[in-house]
Amino acid sequence: CSSFQQPLVRSSPAWPPPAAPPIRTEDYVSQRPLGGGAEGVSAEKLFSLSGLFAVYKPKGPTSAAVLNLLKERLLAEAGVQTKDNKRKRQALKIGHGGTLDSAATGVLGNEKYKYSHRTSMEDASKYTAIGLLGRATDTLDATGKVTEEKPYDQVTKKDLENVLQKFTGDIMQVPPLYSALKKDGERLSTLMKRGEAVEAKPARPVRVYSLSLQQFQPPLFTLDVECGGGFYVRSLVSDIGKELSTCASIQELTRTKHGPFTLEEHALHEDRWTIDEIARSLEHCMSLFPGEQSHKKFKTELPGETAVSCEDK
């Protein structure tokens, strides 16, 4: 494989802080302060909120780690203590509506709901992906071990544009081995990291609404992808490399839209993770959903068990 220049990666501080211990949802118990103090008002407001919102996931942490930190910030602001084995718990559980790889960045949609209600967030997602020709890895991205290198000098911009047409519409796709898909109750990625033999899952139907080449500077190329649920952009880039008689892997991946949430307008960055900001975002974002959800009013109630949860894809 010919030499190439590595893409520029935006530097950012270590995230989350190395000293931060793992956060367990079940450790959190709401001890609402008596009286009308500021903490009591904040707790009432936090546990009365309901709806959908989005946050920004930086490069590095898992989707679950991002939401664990969000939960920690909100509960601390509300004056919630961390105690075990209390009977009348008001647990604040946080989840997401679609996992982003640790190495990926972008918008992460979430639901803050009461009791067992969930809202579907299976609308199309949009991604910007930077692919690298001539190098394959076991994870199909820059975090994995190099498994193959091939020449790519023969690939032209026109070749790449023609290949993209084969991956548009309703297609069949084999999911990557390093994924959240499960075998016998365990994630394939966990089995792979333990060195166990894992067979690839069979190809499954997925949908690509649009796929376009934005930039071509060999060995790098940039794609804009709009796809349905269950789609793996890592697999797409790998398959494109094979179609071009070379190999390819992802260098950078950003989700720019998740359902109705866009990166620019709706994704809250860490400095805006406060109860008031979440409340404003909930009110704004719920207007994006048609029907009953868009007309829900946020009411202050005596909270039972309140949760934020998700459907992993």
Taking the C-alpha atoms of residue 24 and residue 86, their distance in angstroms, rounded to an integer, is 15
User: Of the listed 27, 84, 101, 138, which one is catalytic?
Assistant: 101
101 is catalytic: yes
Task: List, by residue number, the catalytic residues.
Answer: 101
